[in-house]
Amino acid sequence: MDGLHILANLYRCAGEPRYLTDRAALRGLCLAAIERAGLTALGDLFHQFDGGGATGCIVLAESHVAIHTWPEFATVTLDAFVCNYSRDNTARAHGLVDELVAIFRPEDAVRHEVRRDLTAADAATRVAPLRRAAG
């Protein structure tokens, strides 16, 4: 099984300000974009901070989406992870992130894509088990 993790930082966003400051609007935006992308939302939690920003996470059948806003900087951080266990969700993840970026209209953006290969046989790619310190 493999997956795709997309991380995006959106700076100086010129889109609708309510998506930066209104938890309910941000939630509705994310859930609609997830549905249009063909992904399956299973549950969500969004929080409104005093002073304006919001944060949210949507659990997907395919994995998750997390979003955080800083209206004082017109900045958004976004993270979308999809696994490709039962089908290839790569295009769906790209479509979701592309739509959200277009709606926020950042002046500048940094985007990273991390491939997650959970079946790698190469021992060098495996993480050693955690050990407790003595004492």
- By annotation, the residues acting in catalysis are 63, 68, 83
Q: Are 37 and 95 in contact (CB under 8 A)?
A: yes
Which class is 2-117 in CATH? alpha beta
What is this structure's pTM?
0.85
What is the mean predicted confidence (pLDDT) over 48-55?
93
pLDDT at residue 122 in the model: 52
pLDDT in tens, 58-75: 999 999 999 999 999 999
Place of tokens 């739509």: 99
At 51, the amino acid letter reads G
Sequence spans of domains, the chain: 2-117
Residue 87 main-chain phi, psi, to 5 deg = -165, 160
Could you tell me what percentage of the chain is helix, strand and coil, using 3-state DSSP and rounding each to the nearest 5? 25, 40, 30
pLDDT in tens, 88-113: 999 999 999 999 999 999 999 999 99
Q: Are 100 and 19 in contact (CB under 8 A)?
A: no
